[in-house]
Amino acid sequence: MARRTSAQQRENTLRELTLLGDALYALEQADTMQDIGEIKEPLREAGLIRRETRAKQKRPDKAGQPLRYRSDDGFEIQVGKNSLQNERLLKAAQGTDLWLHAKDMPGSHVIMQLEGRQPGEEALTLAAQKEESWEKSVEMERIAGNLIALSLEEFKAMDEV
């Protein structure tokens, strides 16, 4: 029984550490109060921070927007700045869009809209560079080996396993 409780506590602590790492990363990317509000929500849901009292609550802000870029060859690249934006990007993406993310690290989800075309090396490099943990990491080789690039169809199939 004690081992089981210890294992559960360890699992919960690791989950909380992951959430806090994601929140720290997202705070570094935050540009607006909306971004900060979106960072707080997963922490509230996990019970890591308290919900605001009714007196402090205000009307909900409009959802923050992901960063948008366009490659020289015309591919639109969207970058989530926090976990809520990452989720919204995944829901809105088409099955053949390209998804990039650094494996086992907090960071942005990057969606490149392919629209039936094949991206060139320049567009892929730009999309990879927009995955902020790739750019900011001191351990570039480790990240390079762990950068995941999948079509959204492949990603969703992997998630179902």
3-state SS class at 70:
strand
Give Cα separations from 45 to 25, 50, 103 (angstroms): 18, 9, 24
Q: Please provide the distance, in angstroms rounded to a whole number, between the alpha carbons at the two ends of the chain.
A: 30
Q: How far apart are CA 124 and CA 33, in angstroms?
A: 31
In the chain, domain spans = 67-160
Residue 145 pLDDT > 50: no
Residue 39 contacts residue 26 (beta carbons within 8 Å): yes
Q: What pLDDT is stored for residue 50 in this prediction?
A: 86
The 10s digit of each residue's pLDDT in 58-101 is 555 666 788 899 999 999 999 888 888 888 888 888 888 888 87
